[in-house]
Structure 1
Amino acid sequence: MGREQVGVYHILGGRRLCGTVKIQGSKNAVLPMIAAAVLTKEEVVLSGCPRISDVEDMAEIVRSLGGTVWWEEKDLHLNCAEIEKSHVEGALSKRLRASLLFLGSLLARTGEACLAKAGGCRIGKRPTDLHQKAMEVLGAEIFEEAGTIFARADHPKGTVLCFPKKSVGATENAILFAVGAEGVTRLCHCAREPEVVHLCRFLRAMGADITGEGTEQITISGTYGKTALSGCRYEVPGDRIAAGTYLLMGAATRGHLTLLNAPLDEMGAVLSLYQKIGGQYTRKSGTLVADSKKVQDAVPCVETAEYPGFPTDLQSLYLAAAMTLKGESCICENVFEDRLRTAEELQKMGGTLRICGKWIYTEKSRLHGADVVSRDLRGGAALVSAALLAEGFSVVRKTELIERGYERFPETLRELGAKIIVEKEV
């Protein structure tokens, strides 16, 4: 979708979602891998890469730095042999939050990095102080001026770094920088999210010496003065948030879905919730068959939390489904406070909702079609889910936010039985 266009979905509600979905490659796993491709002069191939706007934006940053990027069907090829630049253009870095990951990889590759503060969804406070502090502890000189981060590291050396609070992005950035340092780096109080695990495995496929991924302590033996990292071909894992999205959409519409390539071992919290509201499922070899015809009972309290807790990215999707359940649902958003803004749009559709601090209280509601606006990527998907079960027609605006993270979203929903028309407004 062009940056000058705004997308609009026209949706007729009252349709169950039924059929088979092949879950796309993980957005949150592949974005740091693209930043990591800067660390080698050899070609990297990301197989099964999702063709979404966030990936295209990260690829454009690589091109702007001097790299070459191209697609061959579902494989994204990156060749960073000619990268010499260390400055990410402001317009590019402001498009998405993940652009901040070039801070660590560029420092490791060129010894310098300059980028404007990253953009992305407005879902609450997302400071960069943990990222900057991690770079400093690892030997970088860093300062910020007029919204731009400047960093330099002549000879980064391994050390012990303990994060004051868990942060997926800061953990990933520290890993990317530490890979190019001299000696051993020990990162403590690390985020345990699967995306961090996949980044470590990807770097290990490139020849990095990393252990401890999936725990709170990760150890990296840097490559400074050693053999450089090599290229590799790596299979992008299935997207746990996309899989959870379709699962909860199926629950909201009482559908029957078969999810292929779903990372089931990463979906424990959402599958547990799905069972508690009455969903039934079977799992086998990466395939999830989910039957939602008996979904009916609200869960009294759901709280978002860092992995392996219930993911904040699925909070608004569950909220849409909760408005179809018997009893009161209480949802506590512990991660990003502005994710509650989607509730205001759901109220336009007749949702019985009450917001109290970081808590949302809702009960079974008779939803009707309305004209609503996506506030963020996942909240936009939740509005689509609500529109699918509402009576009459709904219009969902600013769907370019949704398409940052979901591949062929309206097309997939149509294949599952939804009545959805896409309109592009200039």
Structure 2
Amino acid sequence: MDMLVIRGGQPLRGTVRTSGAKNAALPIMAACLLTDGPVRLSEVPKLADVDSLSQLLRLLGVDVEATGPQELSLRVIDRQHFTAPYDLVRKMRASICVLGPLVARRGRAKVSLPGGCNIGHRPIDLHLRGLEALGAQIRVEGGYVEASARRLRGATISLAGPCGSTVTGTANIMAAAVLASGVTTITSAALEPEIVDLAEFLNGLGAQITGQGTPEIRIEGVAALSGGKYSVIPDRIEAATLMIAAIATRGEVTITNIQPTHLESVIHLLREAGADIEIEQSGEETRVVAAGRRMLRPIEFSATPYPGVPTDLQAQLTALLTAAAGDSTVTDAVFPNRFMHVSELCRMGARIEHRGDGVVIRGRNRLSGASVMASDLRASAALAVAALAAEGQSVIRRVYHLDRGYERLDLKLQSLGGQVERILDSPDSIPGSDPTAFLKAA
């Protein structure tokens, strides 16, 4: 198991390219179960979650082959298998995205209830309700969801939940409805760019989907999907994390392979806090330059579904605001309990208080290096941001969380001048440490 050793206080400077979006690549890969021909995907990030889903798809009869640094070839070679076991599904929540395609194309699915980051209760009842509306027989037993249908049929389905729509639920139901008979209308659909990307991918293979990116998606069922080629959109969460890291270190970073329209709420929020964000266009290439040239102003925000500030950036923004010139207030309307990173930030000197369903961040803090532990994917990124801005050396453990969603973030930060080192998690491997120091002190 690895850990990161980060020596803070060095402004990040330079140019960095974001990878393809994990949250788009995973449901697109799962949707390949629907196809009758080979699919070639580009801009697929090399991540632990992509590897896990590749293993699961191979178990389900899909030949998955890496044909380049960020390219995958997927081809269904065996349609007899329909079980997604616990040992694979527990590693990430996006594994549930195979449920809809399996029922739609093979008539049967047995999928373990999903795992993933520990960020609060995330039921899949909307997924199941949607599949039942399409005509599937559903049973939950022994930790597995079992679903079956001769052929799904179109229906009108609402995916409204207590905290907004469901992104993976929208992906699951939309993919399943592609091969259903008749017309399916999804209301209260998720608006996220990753849902639009999945719809564009499916349409390129012969699906008939309209309304993606709006609350109402219409799917006219087709008999079959062909193979094809597709390029995954840039990862907006990685891009914004790099922007935040640049601002936190008082540096200046140019980010390429980015779609600023996917980050309008985040860019607005960062500008409100006093960061300098410039969008540059050169021919077909778009770049975003993020810089921190002054002390940030305190702000108040809530993480909400797209087009709001993403919950996947709440932790990183919380870390950034520890240095603001005053008190900031943060709530999370998507996952109200997603504040496990707070205790670790406080170990680094942050002053953050839980208040109601959010936190108050006491500003004007100068963070200091400390040993901390990541609790989930985005918390690990927040700790990296804090460590880069802190004085002294920090050690971040459980960075396997980071590897689930960021393609070698440590190397990208190094390329920008960050003093980041990935080493084996062992007490005697920390630079400058003496594992016998406590014995000598005694």
Give the structure-2-normalised TM-score.
0.93
Deviation at 1:77, TM superposition (A): 0.8
Aligned residue in 1 for 2:309:
310
Alignment partner, residue 152 of structure 1 = 148
2:189 equivalent in structure 1: 190
AA in 1 matched with 2:93: R
Residue 41 of structure 1 contacts residue 81 of structure 1 at CA under 8 Å; is this kept in 2? no
Q: Which among 6, 13, 22 is matched to residue 8 of structure 2?
A: 13
Question: Is 2:417 the partner of 1:417?
Answer: yes
User: Which runs of 5 or more structure 1 residues have no equivalent in the other structure?
Assistant: 1-5
What is the distance in 2 between the residues matched to 1:332 and 1:267? 19
**8 A contact 1:167–1:190 mirrored in 2:** yes
Alignment of 1:27-426 (within 5 A): 27-73=22-68, 74-165=70-161, 166-223=165-222, 226=223, 228-283=224-279, 284=281, 285-299=285-299, 301-362=300-361, 363-425=363-425
Measure, in 1, the Cα distance between the counterparts of 2:308 and 2:196. Answer: 16
More deviation, 373-382/350-359: 350-359
CA apart distance, 1:290: 1.8
Give the CA deviation at 1:122: 0.7
Q: CA separation of 1:58/1:51 partners in 2, compared to 1, >3 Å: closer, same or farther?
A: same
Q: What secondary structure does 1:386 align onto?
A: helix
Deviations along 1:300-325, one digit per CA (max 9) or x if unpaired, are x1111110011110011011110111
Letter in 2 for 1:297: R
* Contact kept? 1:122, 1:338, Cα under 8 Å: no
Q: For the residues of structure 2 that align with 1:289 and 1:425, how far apart are their CA atoms? A: 34
Q: SS of 2:410's equivalent? A: helix
Q: Note the C-alpha offset of 1:189.
A: 1.0
For 2:108 and 2:424, locate their aligned partners in 1 and report how far apart those are by CA, in whole Å. 40
Higher mean alpha-carbon deviation, 274-283 vs 402-411, is at 274-283
- CA distance in structure 2 between the partners assigned to 1:295 and 1:256 by the alignment: 14
Determine helix, strand or coil for the equivalent of 2:412.
Answer: helix
Contact 2:156 2:184 in 1 (8 A): yes
- The answer to whether the Cα contact below 8 Å between 2:235 and 2:258 also exists between their aligned partners in 1 is yes
Question: Which residue type is aligned with residue 155 of structure 2?
Answer: T
Q: Which aligned runs of 4 or more in structure 1 are off by greater than 3 angstroms?
A: none
Which SS does the other structure have where 2:344 is aligned? helix
Shift of 1:294: 2.9
> Deviations 1:212-263 (Å, cap 9, x if unpaired)?
001111111112xx3x201111011100000010011111111100000111
Name whichever of 278-287 and 11-20 sits farther off. 278-287
Deviations 1:353-410 (A, max 9, x none): 1011321111221211111100110110000110111111111000000110000111
**Cα deviation, residue 297, structure 1:** 1.3
Given the superposition, is the C-alpha separation of residues 295 and 180 from structure 1 closer, same or farther in structure 2, using an over 3 Å criterion? Answer: farther
More divergent stretch after superposition (133-142 vs 67-76): 67-76
Distance in 2 (alpha carbons) for counterparts of 1:51 and 1:253: 27
Aligned-pair distance for 1:273? 1.0
In the alignment of these two chains, the number of paired residues is 417
Give 2:276's aligned amino acid.
Q
Q: Deviations over 1:147-199 (max 9, x none)?
A: 11111011211111122321111111110111111111111111111111111
* Alpha-carbon distance in structure 1 between the residues aligned to 2:424 and 2:226: 42
Query: Which amino acid counterpart does residue 416 of structure 1 have in structure 2?
Result: L
Alignment partners' CA distance in 2, 1:163 and 1:100: 16
Query: For the Cα contact (< 8 Å) 2:241–2:313, is it kept in 1?
Result: yes
SS at match of 2:420: strand
Alpha-carbon separation, structure 2, partners of 1:382 and 1:48? 25
* More displaced stretch, 81-90 vs 54-63: 81-90
Corresponding residue for residue 3 of structure 1: none
Confirm or deny: 8 A CA contact 2:336 2:358 kept in the other structure: no
Matched position secondary structure for 2:375: coil
The equivalent position to 2:20 in structure 1, one of 18, 25, 35, is 25
Provide, for residues 9-59 of structure 1, a one-character-per-residue CA deviation record: whole Å limited to 9, x for no partner: 111111111111101000101110000011012111111110111111111
Question: Structure 1 CA distance, aligned partners of 2:155 and 2:311?
Answer: 32
Does structure 2 conserve the Cα–Cα contact (< 8 Å) formed by 1:44 and 1:232? Answer: yes
- Helix, strand or coil: the match of 1:42? coil
8 Å Cα contact 2:130-2:173 kept in structure 1: yes
User: Structure 1 counterpart of 2:320, which letter?
Assistant: A
1:381 partner amino acid: A
8 Å CA contact retained: 1:369, 1:392: yes
Q: Percent of aligned pairs with the same residue?
A: 37
Contact kept, 8 Å, 1:192 with 1:213, in 2: the verdict is yes
